[in-house]
């Protein structure tokens, strides 16, 4: 046996030494403590039950509940649901009332346990999504807010400006005397902010001629994880552009006020 084989054996022994099981006296379930770490750097626990030669393993809903506690609501986003569904499909698992379930014959217990733990670890990493997914999910968060507040909108609104160029906004709200377009920013940089301000100014004159309404554009900026640089806020102010910091949406109800009332509010 070479040195790596010895180390693998040591690893197996370590897993065994750090894994504990307990019988729930009030049910047929067993609790297994594993040495793997979850969202809050606590040990991942799984629950096991054996009925008629069929073994069922569950996380008891802890994985999705922990994500909810740090602000990641899987059910609220189609993108998140699709990602979760792909992970479950890859490991042959299913979801039942937010419980991640592995099920099969007793003989398959080792592989079922491994698949369940692997899936839990992967799902825990949903808070580390790549930038494209995160930006898409933030747009869905904005959409969910609009839906929850019964705000009627058109999604993926495209309009042509005075230059002849077409620009896309995430949402458009048509009111009696004004038209509002929204652009969500998971993060702000010089490039996307400049494009937003240019597109707003280019479209404003053309839209107001067509609709005979005041045209407004609102930048909705995700500052939940990273503060927005002062220079970007100053740029928006200098152009008299409306903007909303996502972290303050519930405190001041700014977004709802801007969209539902004839009140011009800007977070300063």
DSSP the chain: --HHHHHHHHHHHHHHHT-EEEE-TTSS-EEEEEEEE-TTS-EEEEEEEEETTEEEEE-TTHHHHHHHHTT--GGG-HHHHHHHHHHHHHHT-EEETTEEEEEEEGGGHHHHHHHHHHHHHHHHGGGG--HHHHHHHHHHHHHHHHHHTT---EEEEEEE-TTS-EEEEEEEEE-SSEEEEEEEESS--HHHHHHHHHHHHHHHHHHHHHH-SEEEEEEEE--SSSPPPHHHHHHHHHTT-EEEEGGGHHHH-HHHHHHHSS------
The sign of the dihedral angle between the CA atoms of 105, 111, 113, 116 is negative
pLDDT tens by residue, 64-77: 999 988 878 888 77
For 123, phi and psi rounded to 5 degrees?
Answer: -65, -35
The sign of the dihedral angle between the CA atoms of 122, 127, 129, 134 is positive
Rg (CA), the chain: 25
What is the rounded CA–CA span in Å between residue 31 and residue 48? 6
- Is residue 130 scored above 90 in pLDDT? no
Confidence category of residue 112, pLDDT binned at 50, 70, 90: very high
Domain 131-260 adopts which CATH fold? Trna Endonuclease; Chain: A, domain 1 (3.40.1350)
Please check whether residue 122 is in contact with residue 87, taking contact to mean a CB–CB distance below 8 angstroms: yes
pLDDT tens by residue, 136-147: 778 888 888 888
pLDDT tens by residue, 48-100: 999 988 999 999 999 999 998 887 888 877 778 888 999 999 999 999 999 99
Please check whether residue 150 is in contact with residue 132, taking contact to mean a CB–CB distance below 8 angstroms: no
Q: What is the mean pLDDT of the chain?
A: 85
* Residue ranges per structural domain of the chain: 3-127, 131-260
- Is residue 262 scored above 50 in pLDDT? no
pLDDT tens by residue, 166-210: 888 999 998 888 899 999 998 888 878 888 888 888 888 888 988
Sheet hosting strand 242-245, strand order edge to edge: 154-160, 166-174, 178-185, 214-221, 242-245
pLDDT for 260: 56
Please give the model's pTM, rounded to 2 decimal places.
0.60
22 Cβ contact list (under 8 Å, min separation 6):
30, 31, 33
Q: Which of 35, 36, 187, 11 is nearest to 123 (CA)?
A: 36
pLDDT for 175: 86
Per-residue pLDDT, averaged over 143-169, amounts to 86
Per-residue pLDDT, averaged over 9-24, amounts to 89
């Amino acid at each position: 046996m070479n040195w790596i084989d010895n180390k693998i054996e040591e690893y197996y022994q370590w897993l065994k030494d750090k894994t504990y099981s307990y019988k729930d006296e009030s049910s047929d379930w067993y609790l297994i403590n594993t040495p793997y770490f979850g969202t809050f750097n606590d040990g991942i626990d799984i629950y096991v039950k054996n009925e008629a030669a069929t073994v069922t393993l569950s996380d008891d809903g802890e994985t999705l509940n922990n994500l909810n506690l740090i602000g990641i609501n899987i059910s609220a986003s189609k993108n998140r649901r699709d990602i979760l569904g792909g992970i479950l499909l890859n490991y042959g698992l299913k979801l039942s009332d937010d419980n991640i379930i592995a099920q099969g014959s007793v003989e398959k217990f080792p592989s079922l346990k491994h698949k369940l733990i692997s899936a839990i670890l992967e799902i825990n990493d949903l808070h580390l999504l790549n930038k494209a997914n995160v930006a898409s999910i933030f747009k869905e968060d904005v959409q969910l807010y609009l839906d929850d507040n019964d705000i009627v909108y058109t999604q993926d609104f495209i309009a042509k400006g005075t230059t002849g160029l077409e620009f896309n906004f995430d949402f458009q709200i048509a009111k009696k005397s004004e038209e509002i377009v929204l652009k969500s920013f998971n993060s702000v940089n010089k490039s996307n902010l400049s494009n937003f301000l240019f597109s707003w100014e280019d479209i404003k004159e053309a839209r107001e001629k067509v609709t005979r309404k005041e045209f407004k554009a609102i930048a909705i900026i995700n500052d939940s994880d990273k503060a927005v640089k002062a220079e970007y806020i100053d740029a928006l102010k200098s152009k008299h552009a409306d903007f909303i910091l996502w972290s303050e949406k519930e405190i001041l109800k700014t977004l709802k006020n801007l969209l539902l009332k004839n009140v011009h509010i800007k977070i300063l």
